[in-house]
Amino acid sequence: FDLLLREDPEIAGVLLDELDRLRGGIQLIASENFTSPAVLAALGSTLTNKYAEGYPGRRYYAGCEVVDRAERLAIDRARRLFGAEHVNVQPHSGASANLAAYAALLQPGDTMLAMELSHGGHLTHGSKVNFSGRWFDVVAYGVRRDTELIDYDEVRDLALRHQPKMIVCGATAYPREIDFAAFRGIADEVGAWLLADVAHTVGLMAGRALPSAVPYADVVTFTTHKALRGPRGGGIMCTGELGPRIDRAVFPFVQGGPLMHAVAAKAVAFGEALRPEFAEYARQVVANAQVLADALAAEGMRPVSGGTDSHLALIDLRDVGISGAVAEQRCHAAGITLNRNAIPYDPEPPTVTSGIRVGTPCVTTQGMGPEEMKEVASMVAQVIRNPDATREIRERVAVLTRAHRIYPSEL
Ligand code: PLP
């Protein structure tokens, strides 16, 4: 860091300011986490220099024998962690993992059945503003109005009626466990591929805090930077039989050279997730989310579906009479970062929304537990209702973050 400070003080300043921002606030964005210093060290390494198109032992460039070791370690560790037959660790992101998985199994114009964006699905699951919505004929399923849970009868009816070539399960803002066996049964009934996009929950799967999609789905796509606590990036798991198709879809169809520094950092993160402490972390992430959801409910802020089985809760603010956008802005002013989020059947437009999404991967990495979650819920509720409390809440946030400081030095 001292070198960067000397060579490029402007960018060094950005890094320091971001570290201050992370240390000085409470991060409740459900898709974020704090990687370990070891992951950061691998990311900031000379492996960024190497071109390595292809796969270990089969590269299109000379001099790949060292980086091959990093990719083999990443693959071996991921296979051990998830019990997957085949893993591709090269996708640059969750979106490119999905693009490659679709490219491996579908043709433009094919029908895909996936979760409605406004009910918790992801942009890459068929949104009109995304390649998935433009290139495929997308049929969407959602959650029931009364239970706010996935309606597996509706999924089956839609599958029987539309005969999709692929069914996509997995979500961005769905707090509950997903029944992968039910999806498998429906996919088998109509002869569709089953893709599970576990970008959000793969860390909980790794820590055995949620059931794994691997035994059920033909293809499992994921990101490495959310609850899994690795570098920003993606990955794909599949059966051994589909392995060559998936590999060809990642490279050369969707991507060129892999980011070998990121691949090495993924290996570090998989190694960390294989340790027993990670299972304890994953369990605590879920326990914290449940305490946070319950405590917000006690403050009159309703968790969608009544609670959570995962790392996130979706909170309906209609009873409080404050929009998601205003709540996001009031919390941010007090040092609590969370995002506005549509709730199922939301009457408000996506820029306003009636809800917020809160997640616990970051605060759990900081070592916070149930007591701190109650304090966080109390602060969120107070500042959303009363912006005059902003200064007081800022002080309470500072007390909490000082006691749970992240990163040992100026990384
Ligand atoms: N799939 C799901 C379910 C996600 O939640 C996300 C990101 O939030 C992605 C895919 C895309 O990941 P990325 O932002 O790395 O492209």
Write out the E strands in 148-270.
Answer: 166-169, 193-197, 219-223, 234-238
| Cβ pair 338, 29 in contact under 8 A | yes
Task: Consult the annotation and say whether 121 binds a ligand.
Answer: yes
Bridge pairing between strands 26-27 and 336-337: parallel
Q: Is it the case that residue 293 has pLDDT exceeding 90?
A: yes
Bridge pairing between strands 193-197 and 219-223: parallel
Active site residue 223: yes
383 contacts: CB under 8 Å, gap ≥ 6: 330, 331, 333, 334, 336, 389, 390, 393
Mean of pLDDT values over 291-314: 98
* Cβ of residue 243 lying under 6 Å from some atom of ligand 1: no
User: What does the pLDDT look like over 218-231, one tens digit per residue?
Assistant: 999 999 999 999 99
Active site residue 197: yes
User: What does the pLDDT look like over 241-273, one tens digit per residue?
Assistant: 999 999 999 999 999 999 999 999 999 999 999
Task: Consult the annotation and say whether 241 binds a ligand.
Answer: yes
What confidence tier does 1 reach under pLDDT thresholds 50, 70, 90?
A: confident
Please report the pLDDT score of residue 68 as a whole number.
98
- CA 92 – CA 164 distance, rounded (Å): 27
Please report the pLDDT score of residue 381 as a whole number.
98
Active site residue 110: no
The CA-atom distances, in angstroms, between 233 and each of 46, 88, 225, 274 are 18, 12, 6, 18
User: What does the pLDDT look like over 94-145, one tens digit per residue?
Assistant: 999 999 999 999 999 999 999 999 999 999 999 999 999 999 999 999 999 9
Reported ipTM: the value is 0.99
Mean of pLDDT values over 33-38: 97
Is this prediction's pTM over 0.90?
yes
117 Rama class: left (phi>0) / alpha (psi -120 to 50) / beta: alpha
Average pLDDT, the chain: 97
Residue 241: name the closest of 86, 91, 100, 88 by CA.
Answer: 86
User: What does the pLDDT look like over 342-364, one tens digit per residue?
Assistant: 999 999 999 999 999 999 999 99
* Cβ of residue 94 lying under 6 Å from some atom of ligand 1: yes
Please report the pLDDT score of residue 410 as a whole number.
63
